[in-house]
Amino acid sequence: MLKGGDMMPLEQMMTLKALRVRKGLTQNDVANIMGVNRMTIIKWEKDAGNMPIKYMSRFSELYKYPMNAIFFGNVISFRDKLNVEEGRK
């Protein structure tokens, strides 16, 4: 069982964009909810590595998904890591 700060296995993690699409929201919807502009959401969906922690917890609440299961980083890096993980199986 994972503890609060433990990371989920990569194949169980989701990106911000995947969670937004799953929830049926547009980038504008999320920007309005989060109190930022659409360009910020676009930037964070590509690379959330520098996102302030307060927004990380708000995304977790918005998407009703554990914060340690959301990938907050570079999406290209995430895909590369997933491909490596899949290759090991």
What is the CATH number for 57? 1.10.260.40
Q: What is this structure's pTM?
A: 0.77
Which of 15-24, 37-46, 51-60, 77-86 has the lowest average pLDDT?
A: 77-86
Coil, strand or helix at 56: helix
Q: How many domains does the chain have?
A: 1
Domain range spanning residue 78? 13-88
Is 72 inside a domain boundary?
yes
pLDDT at 74 over 60: yes
Which pLDDT value is given to residue 60? 96
Classify residue 49: in a domain, yes or no. Answer: yes
Q: Which residues contact 13 (CB under 8 A, 6 or more apart)?
A: 7, 69, 70, 71, 78
Query: What pLDDT, on the 0 to 100 scale, is given for residue 33?
Result: 98
